[in-house]
Structure 1
Amino acid sequence: MSAEFGPSVPFPHIGDNVTTCMRKGLEPSPAIYDPLGPVDPVKRDNLLQHLKPHEEIPHGEAHEDIEFYRILITPRPWPIKEYGWLIENHIAAYIRVLIQRSKQDPSPFLSKRVAFIDSWFLQSWVHDYKEFEAKPEMVKFKGSGYEGLANGLIPTYIQTKLRWFTYVDHLYGVLNTGGNHWVGFHVDLHKEKVDCYDSIVGEQTLESELRMLNFFRPLTGMIPAILNALIPDDIRVPTKKKFVFRRRTKRIVPQNNLRGDCGVYALKFVECLALGVAFDGISDENIQGLRMKMAADVFDEGNCSLVSRYVRYSSDKPQTIPQNRKIFNKSADSSS
């Protein structure tokens, strides 16, 4: 690997028997891959070749497609403060890579009964919660984007067509908390619980736990309502109970002590959870290699144009992201 993008880093790997890094009691899919292994050299070289004609352009000033990948792969020390912080585009791109992989047969994940929440839709979902909290009856789920999401029809160009609860047991995604921090989450639809995986836990107090719970209320409060509205009563008994929330501890979740990589951590958390793989290898020591691997995978599996194809969904209709939106824009959707 070019010194410009950091050294190659050794990773723990799944190994020949495909069980070395599996979580206890879980059986791997026959199509499992190593989410923490070294970047594919062909994918890496293709990405670097794509970026090479633009290497003389100062960081932060190239076309958004180029900045997208530069933000991911530029090693520390960053040329601009907070340059390497992931924004919504990065989260959405990798989540869509995971959605596409979930459609493979056989699926590389623990089962076909998993779904990844589209990040653009989740952004609108969080916004809708304010109205839902004030007047739940004002937020309609049938005939809206929520019905499409719960039936595997969003994103529209990589539909899984798997209905929640009936054909999906587990939801995975990445949530922005506080405007500058990303956390991963896992929703168990049958056990009615939401687990948060946070790479920067800090000191755990009642106040900090309540603050994180408040960020997750759109999920703990609205998922039961979505299921009540969209899943037939003979399949699931309606309930007014909210889902239980749990923020996993530092003992379980690797911590980003360098700061600035929480988006990468969160995405790798949900990928490993869906695969059934332990978090060993998600660390500050390996973060530059993970960044390069993620960028190369998006470039390869996103047909080099995921950035320009994003669609953000409101509760009832899609909104196209403006094409002139600058990738390098440290606004409220920046990552810590």
Structure 2
Amino acid sequence: MEWCMNPIAVKTDPSFFNLAVTTRIICSPEWLGNEEMDSIMFIWRVNTSFKRWTPTRVAFMPSIFCLQMDTEFNKFVPNKKTYELHEFLISYGRGELPAHGRTDQVWGVDVDRLYFPQFVNGNHWIAVCINIIERKVEVFDCNRGRNRQYIEKFAALILRIVKAVAPPESKKQLLVSPYSIVEVPMKARLNKSCADCRAYALKHLQCHLLGLDLGLVDDEIIQGCRQKIAVDLWEASHNPILAQIDRRDQPTLSGIDRSMIDRSIDCRIDRLFLGTIDRVKLVPDG
């Protein structure tokens, strides 16, 4: 790639793509950073909002979301009966946050599932999918660990956010009992490098989102997955749709002209990595 010969930093909302990021992604045993994770979540948000990917009733949370949920859960536990949701949690539920690339899609009305990575145990990353319709929190851990203590906050608070943003006629019908927590079965002996957990988290989320077999992702192909993440970020930095979003005073996906999709640099998306498993051409709607 010519860019590698002259690695000028380029914008990949909400971060930048530069040589340090490229090295961190591609060169195991480096961990992926929060910036890369958030940028991938943003790219997926664009893909689903513009119907490049079939799932559309989904939302993707940034890394700070989990930290904010931690803070609020610590307030909730000792005062469950009197606890009131913070306004920023309600803003997530309304689709107003994350602010960059906001969708204005309401949880439980326009959104059925939430996807995001979660940091656990001070040294490991897992993937989380919250299914609002089925009232469950699915956990994907390449190390097959026990993570209930890190997931309880979502099981307890997400339903309250959903109820807070629900239409008035639906509020009384929504229960506030905690969601169930499901540990999704994984292959044994994954992530032997102990440095690929973030790549696994992203690819497990992507497989679940696109309806692919989680067993496709293992240590034999994880380096290719890391390379694909780098390619996605590089392509995003040259995508005119994302450039238009970045130029807006209030960057929101709901206000972008969908005809821009036809002029996008790349309407083809690798489902896993560099076309090794399955490459599909996605045709925009109408």
Q: Post-superposition shift, 1:285?
A: 1.3
CA distance in structure 2 between the aligned counterparts of 1:50 and 1:279, rounded to whole angstroms: 37
1:327 is aligned to: none
2:177 equivalent to 1:241: yes
> Where do residues 191-230 of structure 1 align in structure 2 (5 Å cutoff)?
191-201=134-144, 209=146, 212-230=147-165
CA distance in structure 2 between the aligned counterparts of 1:277 and 1:254, rounded to whole angstroms: 20
CA distance in structure 2 between the aligned counterparts of 1:123 and 1:198, rounded to whole angstroms: 19
Q: Post-superposition shift, 1:302?
A: 4.1
Letter paired with 1:290 = C
**Per chain length, whose mean CA-contact separation is higher, i.e. which structure has more relative contact order (CA < 8 Å, sep 6+)?**
1
2:195 is aligned to: 260
Structure 1 residue aligned with 2:131, among 156, 169, 188?
A: 188
Residues 270-307 of structure 1, C-alpha deviations (whole Å, 9 max, x = no match) = 1111111222431211121111110121122145999x
CA distance in structure 2 between the aligned counterparts of 1:47 and 1:139, rounded to whole angstroms: 50
> Where do residues 153-192 of structure 1 align in structure 2 (5 Å cutoff)?
153-192=96-135
CA distance in structure 2 between the aligned counterparts of 1:200 and 1:174, rounded to whole angstroms: 14
The 1:281–1:166 alpha-carbon spacing in structure 2 relative to 1, beyond 3 Å, is same
CA distance in structure 1 between the aligned counterparts of 2:41 and 2:167, rounded to whole angstroms: 28
Structure 2 residue aligned with 1:273, among 195, 199, 208?
A: 208
Letter paired with 2:144 = V
2:124/2:197 contact within 8 Å kept? yes
1:3 is aligned to: none
Structure 2 residue aligned with 1:85, among 31, 35, 55?
A: 31
Determine what percentage of the aligned residue pairs are the same residue.
Answer: 21
Normalised to the residue count of structure 2, the TM-score between the two structures is 0.73
Structure 2 residue aligned with 1:250, among 181, 186, 205?
A: 186
Q: Post-superposition shift, 1:223?
A: 0.7
Q: Post-superposition shift, 1:234?
A: 2.1
2:166 is aligned to: 231
2:7 equivalent to 1:51: yes
Q: Post-superposition shift, 1:47?
A: 4.8
Structure 2 residue aligned with 1:298, among 233, 238, 255?
A: 233
CA distance in structure 2 between the aligned counterparts of 1:163 and 1:157, rounded to whole angstroms: 16
1:68 is aligned to: 21
More strand by share: 2
Letter paired with 1:67 = A
Structure 2 residue aligned with 1:123, among 58, 64, 67?
A: 67
Output the aligned Cα RMSD: 2.7
Q: Post-superposition shift, 1:86?
A: 2.2
1:47/1:296 contact within 8 Å kept? no
2:79 is aligned to: 135
Q: Post-superposition shift, 1:257?
A: 2.5
Unpaired runs of 5+ residues, structure 1, are 1-44, 54-62, 79-83, 203-208, 310-336
Unpaired runs of 5+ residues, structure 2, are 10-15, 247-286
Q: How many residues align?
A: 234
CA distance in structure 2 between the aligned counterparts of 1:152 and 1:254, rounded to whole angstroms: 38
Aligned to 1:298, what secondary structure does the other structure show?
helix
Residues 47-81 of structure 1, C-alpha deviations (whole Å, 9 max, x = no match) = 5245399xxxxxxxxx9943222111124xx5xxx
Aligned to 1:184, what secondary structure does the other structure show?
strand
CA distance in structure 1 between the aligned counterparts of 2:238 and 2:72, rounded to whole angstroms: 32
CA distance in structure 2 between the aligned counterparts of 1:89 and 1:232, rounded to whole angstroms: 34
1:24 is aligned to: none
Normalised to the residue count of structure 1, the TM-score between the two structures is 0.63
Aligned to 1:235, what secondary structure does the other structure show?
helix
Structure 2 residue aligned with 1:112, among 56, 61, 67?
A: 56
Letter paired with 2:19 = I
